[in-house]
Amino acid sequence: MAGHSTYVPKTRFTHWLDSRLPILRFANDTMSTFPTPRNLNFWYSFGGILTFMLGIQIVTGIVLAMHYVPAANMAFDSVENIMRDVNYGWLLRYMHSNGASFFFLAVYIHIFRGLYYGSYKAPREVLWILGVIIYVLMIATAFLGYVLPWGQMSFWAATVITNLFSSIDQILPHFGTAVTQWLWGGFAVGDPTLNRFFSLHYLLPFVIAGVVVLHIWALHVPGNNNPLGIDVRGPQDTVPFHPYYTVKDAFYLCLFVILFAIVVFYLPNSLVEPDNYVPANPLVTPPEIVPEWYLLPFYAMLRSIPQKLIGVIVLFGALITLLFVPWLDTSRVRSMRFRPLAKQFFWALVIDCIVLGYLGAHRPDAVFPGTAIPMLPFARLGTAYYFAYFWIILPLLGLIETPRPLPATIATSVTGTGVEQVNAAPAE
């Protein structure tokens, strides 16, 4: 679908440049004339939104790093200094800390969009896997960043998460502890831990940017999937990316930024645990150690398993599972619009993840407010459904489900008079 290049250099300079470094040709073919299915909906605008959010995080992060001090006895005060005495430091920090939340909000919509429309299926398996790698890198970056303000939650989140590795002790005695101490750079979370976390937190976004380039490259080889999940048959099914999708993406991006701005300017601390405004204190454990909202479903899975090592395996297994999705889904139909059964299980998965997020914010021994119903069985059920969806339901559905008939082409589906248009379209 990428097809041959339609770029024609217009000036002597661009002609000269084109035979030396065809960078303008590349930009033209990938960002301007790139043939894009004409029926992409709102949910397809999140790729552009994510690129924008990555840019926001990198730019605000670089400026914050100019003022931040990665030392255990100064980190908290340096963040307060940014908030009080650095010009617009409060804006940079609130954009960065809330930006992470909005980055994850967008990536979750993007991932579920891919799951719903079957965007992971051939020939887009590599595109999907690169996306999963970006997501895992985002989790790592967000966790490292959460530690940097060196508040109570920062310190104890770092302690809890690094301690996960000590569970390896159960199969290789002492090895897990050795790994944990190697990660810490000492015998507890401390100055060396903070220093290396800062270094890695600065590095990983650029790794993400690199994988994003691969992700977009892998997108441009087969071209976009679309809500119908059927292949593009010819030029009547597509429109050039610019101006059609640049303007559509820009509009939805602007709506997304409005939501972002409401939180940054009016509710900047609504997503933060108040405890993280208390300086880190290794001698005082907070009553409740919780990650940021976007990691709560995984935290619920971890805490629903009584055995630590198995809990850790389940936690990482939930992420690794995503890598196999292209081969676990046996249905030949991509879009769930035409899969009446799969659609219901998909929405159950969405609800499952939200419920797990709610349960993850509470202790495993908690009960639902106002009742005596314990939360733990629900966390276990939710965890079981997450794995069952990918490892049992998706493979089985492809065998037993009867999909609804697919439209012949994108053009026939989009326009009432599509058939005539298809016939009227000049053959290429």
Which positions lie near another protein, rule CB under 8 A?
38, 77, 80, 83-85, 90-91, 94, 239, 243-244, 247-248, 250-251, 254-255, 257-258, 261-262, 264-266, 268-269, 274-275, 277-278, 414-415
For another protein, the closer of residues 210 and 274 by Cβ is 274
For another protein, the closer of residues 263 and 301 by Cβ is 263
For another protein, the closer of residues 382 and 418 by Cβ is 418
b or e along 148-173 (b: 16 or more beta carbons within 10 Å of the residue's beta carbon)?
bbbbbbbbbbbbebbbbbbbbbeeee
For another protein, the closer of residues 275 and 329 by Cβ is 275
In angstroms, give the least distance from the CB of 80 to another protein. 5
In angstroms, give the least distance from the CB of 405 to another protein. 23
In angstroms, give the least distance from the CB of 251 to another protein. 4
For another protein, the closer of residues 195 and 415 by Cβ is 415
For another protein, the closer of residues 168 and 232 by Cβ is 232
For another protein, the closer of residues 199 and 269 by Cβ is 269
For another protein, the closer of residues 45 and 166 by Cβ is 45
Give, in degrees to the nearest 5, the angle at Cα 370 between 368 and 376: 15
Alpha carbons 196 and 181: distance in angstroms, whole number: 13
In angstroms, give the least distance from the CB of 325 to another protein. 32
- Which of 253, 223, 220 is CA-nearest to residue 38? 223
For another protein, the closer of residues 244 and 378 by Cβ is 244
- Which of 229, 275, 204, 215 is CA-nearest to residue 30? 215
For another protein, the closer of residues 106 and 264 by Cβ is 264
For another protein, the closer of residues 205 and 286 by Cβ is 286
In angstroms, give the least distance from the CB of 278 to another protein. 5
In angstroms, give the least distance from the CB of 246 to another protein. 9
Phi, psi dihedral angles at 240 (to 5 degrees): -65, 145
In angstroms, give the least distance from the CB of 22 to another protein. 28
* HEC per residue, the chain: CCCCCCCCCCCHHHHHHHCCCCHHHHHHHHHHCCEEECCCCHHHHHHHHHHHHHHHHHHHHHHHHCCCCCCCCCHHHHHHHHHHCCCCHHHHHHHHHHHHHHHHHHHHHHHHHHHHHCCCCCCCHHHHHHHHHHHHHHHHHHHHHHHCCCEHHHHHHHHHHHHHHHHHHHCCCCHHHHHHHHHHCCCCCCHHHHHHHHHHHHHHHHHHHHHHHHHHHHHHCCCCCCCCCCCCCCHHHEEEHHHHHHHHHHHHHHHHHHHHHHHHHHCCCCCCCHHHHCECCCCCCCCCCCCCHHHHHHHHHHHHCCCHHHHHHHHHHHHHHHHHHHHHCCCCCCCHHHCHHHHHHHHHHHHHHHHHHHHHCCCCCCECCCCCCECHHHHHHHHHHHHHHHHHHHHHHHHHCCCCCCCCCHHHHHCCCHHHHHHHCCCC
